[in-house]
Amino acid sequence: MTIDERKSSSNMQNSVIQNLILENREKLSISGALDVLSFDDQIVILETELGLLTVKGENLRINKLSLDTGEVIIDGEIYNMGYSEKELDKKSGGILGKIFK
């Protein structure tokens, strides 16, 4: 299967396109952002079309935020990026889920 065939088959299954562009671990450009849920100088949590995106680092700041176009640019020393499920499940068995049963 060629790369073009894989792209077209994956686009049929999921029409959402999201780009994360990390430049020198100092500038992260994100497309497909829906909302900024939380941020400080060490962690930024974004709701995106593909789930919750957590960005960890130091001296983080949101340089550009346009929820109309879904664009976010984060500057700082970026150490870690990770996705989690789009909706947090209180029945997941985590500590908060056990406390608030």
Residue carrying structure tokens 């997941």: 92
Residue 84 has phi, psi (to 5 degrees) of: -135, 175
Identify the pLDDT of residue 16. Answer: 81
What is the per-residue pLDDT for 87? 55
Q: Provide the pLDDT for residue 85.
A: 76
Contacts with 84 (C-beta within 8 Å, 6 or more apart), sequence order: 51, 52, 54
The pLDDT score that the predictor gives to residue 12 is 46
The pLDDT score that the predictor gives to residue 91 is: 46
Residue 100 confidence (pLDDT): 56
Identify the pLDDT of residue 97.
56
Tens of pLDDT along 57-72?
999 999 999 989 999 9
Q: Please name each of the domains of the chain with its CATH number.
A: 25-87 (2.60.40.2000)
What does the block give as tokens for 40?
């400080």
The predicted pLDDT at position 34 comes to 94
DSSP secondary structure, 1-38, as one string:
--HHHHHHHHHHH------EEEETTTEEEE-SEEEEEE
DSSP one-letter code for 85: -
Which residues does the chain have with pLDDT short of 70? 1-14, 86-101
